[in-house]
């Protein structure tokens, strides 16, 4: 029996995943904007988020959350992290018992410092919770470029079943059981992408970007392990893989924010000019608090925070990193 998919969220990644799953399973996408829904249903496109892209003709959309999920066998949450809880609460009355709920978000909730699967477990106890994550730039995947992702769930059997829902052609989906590590890798790498973007915007060079990616991996791994993730996860697709893609690509929203900061633009103006959410901007606040909670040294995150929220310049940030005490490469710092 083919599983029916109900996907909440009509942004670039949510729409891309819905288009992928509709090749394997009956998929219904929910979006708030009636114009987006009409465009998907009538033109098989979502020009605001995926310009010039044709969606799978089997994908249907609706403005009704109830219609989207009341018959769904798997629910996919393509909702930014700061709105995730509100949408899930809205959906809760219509979700059938025991249906798996999969997050696409790469962020942490500011008010609680929670991961998205923790929010799912709190609001929908008894429902298997998981995350689909990895080095996945939506526009590339939609245009048929090869990519790999990971579906991470505690229950390996359910994850393997869902592999067949998400895998499609050149989009290869692996599984793992380290939900904590997979989610943290996806959230924390966005902060590093802002740092890498700042360097690129300020024309700091390839060596600087390489150093930021490498030390950024060390930094996010330290916090991730302290919070319960497994070290090997951070060396895989959901850690290093995602970090490289996001820190190196102009298609990355977080890299874009950093790049514009590096060019001297103000954060408020950058955000106002974007039609999508750069999760790393708000995640940086949460990561700073978590670093204190777990007593983990995170110099790159600290400098990004100062640029975003304390009025420091990009050059202040690089000066701060250069003057940070240097230890052994294998040790914190």
Tell me if 138 is assigned to a ligand binding site.
Answer: yes
Tell me, what's the pLDDT at 2?
Answer: 84
Sign of the Cα pseudo-torsion (171, 172, 176, 181, in order): negative
Residue numbers of the domain that contains 109: 5-177
Same domain as 195, residue 240: yes
Q: Are residues 204 and 161 in the same domain?
A: no
Angle at 154 between CA 172 and CA 175, to 5 degrees: 15
Please tell me the total count of domains within the chain: 2
Q: Is 35 annotated as a binding residue?
A: no
Per residue of the chain (333 residues), give pLDDT as tens. Answer: 689 999 999 999 999 999 999 999 999 999 999 999 999 999 999 999 999 999 999 999 999 999 999 999 999 999 999 999 999 999 999 999 999 999 999 999 999 999 999 999 999 999 999 999 999 888 888 888 999 999 999 999 999 999 999 998 889 999 999 999 999 999 999 999 999 999 999 999 899 899 999 999 999 999 999 999 999 999 999 999 999 999 999 889 999 999 999 999 999 999 999 888 888 899 999 999 999 999 999 999 999 999 999 999 999 888 888 776 555 555 555
Same domain? For 147 and 95 the reply is yes
330 occurs within a structural domain: no
For residue 86, say whether it is annotated as part of any ligand binding site: no
169 is in an annotated binding site: no
Residue 258 lies in a domain: yes
CATH number reported for the structural domain that contains residue 162 in this entry: 3.40.50.720
Strand partners, 147: 171
With respect to residue 303, please indicate whether it lies within any of the assigned structural domains: yes
Q: Which CATH number belongs to the domain containing residue 205 in this structure?
A: 1.10.1040.10
Beta bridge partners of 151: 132, 175
| Residue 180, CA distances (Å) to 40, 52, 167, 238, 246 in order | 34, 36, 22, 11, 20
102: helix, strand or coil: strand
DSSP letter (8 states) at residue 53: P
Catalytic residue chosen out of the listed positions 2, 57, 139, 189: 189
Domain boundary among 137, 155, 177: 177
23 with 128, same domain?
yes
Residues 214 and 307 in one domain: yes
| 263: in domain | yes
Residue with tokens 């219609």: 67
201 in the same domain as 290: yes
**Residue 286 sits in the same domain as residue 238:** yes
* Domain boundary residue, one of 155, 177, 199: 177
User: Does 295 lie in the same domain as 210?
Assistant: yes
pLDDT score of 165: 95
Domain boundary among 115, 147, 177: 177
DSSP symbol at 117:
H
Residues 13 and 129 in one domain: yes
Residue 329 inside a domain? The answer is no
257 in a structural domain: yes
Are 169 and 36 contained in the same domain?
yes
> What DSSP assignment string belongs to 55-82?
PPTT-EEES-HHHHHTT-SEEEE---HH
Query: 134 among the known binding-site residues?
Result: yes
Please indicate whether residue 189 is annotated as part of the active site.
Answer: yes
**68 part of a folded domain:** yes
pTM of the model: 0.93
Do 142 and 231 share a domain, yes or no? no
Report how far residue 72's alpha carbon sits from residue 68's, in angstroms, rounded to the nearest whole number.
7
Would you give the DSSP letter of residue 168? B
Same domain membership, residue 229 and residue 169:
no
**Is the residue at 332 inside a domain?**
no
Known binder of ligand: residue 167?
no
Residue 30, annotated as binding a ligand = no
- Is 11 known to sit in a ligand binding site? yes
């Amino acid at each position: 029996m083919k599983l029916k998919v109900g996907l909440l969220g009509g942004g670039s990644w949510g729409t891309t995943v819905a288009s992928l799953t509709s090749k394997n399973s009956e998929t219904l996408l929910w979006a708030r904007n009636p114009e987006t829904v009409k465009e998907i249903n009538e033109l098989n496109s979502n020009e605001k988020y995926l310009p010039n892209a044709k969606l799978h003709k089997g994908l249907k959309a609706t403005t009704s959350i109830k219609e989207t999920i009341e018959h769904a066998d798997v629910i996919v949450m393509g909702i930014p992290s700061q709105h995730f809880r509100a949408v899930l609460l809205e959906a809760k009355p219509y979700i059938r018992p025991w249906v798996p709920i999969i997050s696409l978000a790469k962020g942490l909730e500011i008010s609680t410092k929670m991961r998205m699967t923790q929010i799912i477990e709190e609001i929908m106890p008894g429902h298997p919770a998981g995350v689909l994550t990895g080095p996945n730039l939506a526009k590339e995947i939609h245009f048929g470029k090869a990519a790999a992702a990971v579906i991470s769930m505690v229950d390996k059997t359910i994850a393997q079943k869902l592999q067949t829902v998400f895998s499609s052609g050149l989009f290869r989906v692996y599984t793992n059981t380290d939900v904590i590590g997979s989610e943290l890798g996806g959230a924390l790498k966005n902060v590093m992408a802002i740092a890498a973007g700042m360097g690129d915007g300020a024309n700091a060079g390839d060596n600087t970007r390489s150093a930021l990616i490498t030390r950024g991996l060390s930094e996010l791994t330290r916090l991730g392990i302290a919070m319960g993730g497994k070290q090997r996860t951070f060396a895989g697709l959901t850690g290093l893989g995602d970090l490289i893609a996001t820190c190196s690509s102009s298609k990355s929203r977080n890299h874009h924010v950093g790049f514009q900061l590096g060019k001297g633009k103000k954060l408020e103006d950058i955000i106002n000019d974007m039609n999508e959410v750069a999760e790393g901007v708000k995640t940086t606040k949460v990561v700073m608090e978590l670093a204190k909670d777990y007593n983990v040294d995170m110099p790159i995150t600290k400098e990004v925070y100062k640029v975003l929220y304390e009025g420091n310049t990009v050059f202040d940030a690089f000066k701060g990193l250069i003057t940070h005490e240097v230890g052994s490469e294998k040790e914190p710092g």
